[in-house]
Amino acid sequence: MKFCPTCNQQNDDSTSFCVSCGAPLDQVAPAQQAYAPPPQPQAYPPQQQAYAPPPPQQGYPPAQQAYAPPPQGYPPQQQGYPQQGGYAPPPPKPPGNAMGVASMVLGIIALVFCWVYIWNAVSLVLSVVGLVLAIIAKKKNVAVGAPAGMATAGLVTSIIALALSAILFITCTVCICVAGNALTSAFDWAW
C-alpha cells in the first residue's frame, strides 16, 4: 500500500495518483516501509505587530475568519494545445429607424396621390406628416451616430410631394374656377 504525501490517504500499489486528492504517488515508497507522519510546523516566537486593530465596538460581535474549504479536484496538468476561440458575439443591433421608414413611405404615397385632384388634399396632409417625421428621425440618427439614409429619403420625397401637391392643387383649383366662370357666362348669354 502507498500513502499520499499530501493528504495521507491509503492507496493501492498499482495506482500512480492519489484517489482522494489526485497528487502523484510515483515518488512515494510502498507501505512496507515505516510510516512517518508529516512534520509538524515549528512554533516561532511571536513578532511584534506594526499595526494593532482598534478594539471592537460594543454591540457588534467580533469578526470571524472566513472558512476556506480544502483544495479538491485534479492537480494542475501540463499545458496542452491552446484553447480555440469560440464564435464572436453578434454585432450590436443598430437603433431602430422606424420614423425614417415611415417618413419615406408617407412621402411615396403622397407622390402617388398628388396627381389626382380628388386625393390632392390627402397628399398635402401625408407629405406634411412625412416631412415632420423625417426631420425628427434625422435629428435622432445624427445624435446617436446611426446612418440617416432612410430619414433623408423620406425628407426628399416629402418635400417633392408637398411642392407638387401644392402646385397641382392650386393649378387645378384655378382651372376649375375659370371653367366654372366660363360655363356660367355661357349659360347667361344663352338665356
CB 137 within 8 A of CB 85: no
Residue 10, beta-bridge partner list: 3
CA distance 113 to 104: 14
pLDDT in tens, the chain (191 residues): 788 888 888 888 888 888 888 888 876 444 445 556 666 666 555 565 566 666 656 665 666 666 666 667 766 666 666 666 677 777 776 666 888 899 999 999 999 988 888 888 889 999 999 999 999 999 988 888 888 888 999 999 999 999 999 999 899 889 889 988 888 877 776 55
